[in-house]
Amino acid sequence: MHLTTLQKRPDFLAAARAKRQPCGSFLLQARKRSEGEAQGIRVGFTCSKKVGNAVARNRAKRRLREIARLILPELGRDGYDYVLIGRAEQTAARPFHKLQNDLRRGLQKIHKVSR
């Protein structure tokens, strides 16, 4: 499944009003889109200045992008928007395999609730 990146502020705000799941090293937001809004899985990434300077924020977002690229085609659901929000001193420092497991668990919890 192809991932599309969220880039417009209204899409991020809509996801912020939807389900949230803390995942240890980041926060996962997920929302089911209405019919005809868009196709496939869409994903966005954000890190506030609390995460650190530009270098730290970019590193955290690169790590989040990579786990999304690896996991969302397998476990994400068509018709959903996902936003991964980096956390200060956690997203960039957590071992990569644990980041992946955090996303897997977060997706299972979000979709378990939505059934």
% of the chain beyond a pLDDT of 90: 79
Average pLDDT value for residue range 32-56: 90
Reduced to 3 states, what is the DSSP secondary structure of residue 21? strand
Per residue in 45-100, pLDDT (tens digit) is 999 999 999 999 999 999 999 999 999 999 999 999 999 999 998 998 999 999 99
How far CA 49 is from CA of 29, 95, 98, 104, in Å, comes to 19, 22, 23, 26
The reported pLDDT for the residue numbered 34 is: 86
pLDDT interval class at 108 (50, 70, 90): very high
31 pLDDT higher than 80: yes
Residue 115 confidence class, pLDDT cut points 50, 70, 90: very low
**Selection from 94, 4, 74, 76 nearest residue 44 by Cα:** 4
Residue with tokens 């001193």: 89
Sign for the pseudo-dihedral over CA of 87, 5, 100, 94: negative
Per-residue tokens: 39 = 């196709």
**Domain 3-110: CATH class, spelled out:** alpha beta
Q: What is the pLDDT of residue 1?
A: 66
Task: In whole angstroms, give the CA distance from residue 11 to residue 89.
Answer: 26
Predicted confidence band at 37 (pLDDT cuts at 50, 70, 90)? confident
Question: In whole numbers, what is the pLDDT of the chain averaged over residues?
Answer: 91
CB 28 within 8 A of CB 83: yes
